[in-house]
């Protein structure tokens, strides 16, 4: 390809350098994207390791079972508190009866 005789050296240099500059900028952008993807991949692998089971049961099933166990414990604790309230009330009645029958011996 022959250039016109009045082509300036600046235009000639620009026509040669422009595609090289565009390719270089594109390459830099792709390199940055690859680095970001590698970092995200490492982060994802770490997250996956934290939430994956190292045993045969399903994590969701394990959590559901724990939830049922905790509900059962709350129910049992509530029952025990109710029983303690009844016992305290009975002890108060026994003390009141003892004070009535033996006022000199009971503080």
Higher model confidence: residue 7 or residue 35?
Answer: 35
Q: Report the C-alpha gap between 10 and 16 in whole angstroms.
A: 10
> pTM score, two decimals?
0.43
State which residues form the domain around 102.
56-107
Domain count, the chain: 2
- Same domain? For 40 and 77 the reply is no
- Same domain? For 85 and 99 the reply is yes
Q: What separation in angstroms does the CA of 62 have from each of 52, 53, 69?
A: 12, 10, 11
- Same domain? For 17 and 64 the reply is no
pLDDT given for residue 53 in this prediction: 62
- Same domain? For 47 and 65 the reply is no
Query: Is 60 inside any structural domain?
Result: yes
- Same domain? For 83 and 102 the reply is yes
pLDDT given for residue 1 in this prediction: 60
| Residues 23-80: tens digit of each pLDDT | 989 888 888 898 988 899 888 887 777 676 677 778 889 899 999 999 999 999 999 9
- Same domain? For 61 and 106 the reply is yes
- Same domain? For 31 and 63 the reply is no
For residues 20, 24, 29 and 30, what is the CA-based torsion angle, rounded to 10 degrees?
100
CB 15 within 8 A of CB 22: no
């Amino acid at each position: 390809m022959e250039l016109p005789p009045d082509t300036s050296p600046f235009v000639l240099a620009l026509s040669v350098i422009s595609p090289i500059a565009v390719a270089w900028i594109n390459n830099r952008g792709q390199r940055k994207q690859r680095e970001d993807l590698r970092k995200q991949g490492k982060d994802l692998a770490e997250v996956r390791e934290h939430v994956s089971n190292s045993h045969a049961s399903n994590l969701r099933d394990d959590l559901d079972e724990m939830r049922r166990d905790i509900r059962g414990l709350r129910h049992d604790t509530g029952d025990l508190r109710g029983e303690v309230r009844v016992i305290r009330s009975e002890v108060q009645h026994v003390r009141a009866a003892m004070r009535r029958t033996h006022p000199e011996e009971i503080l």
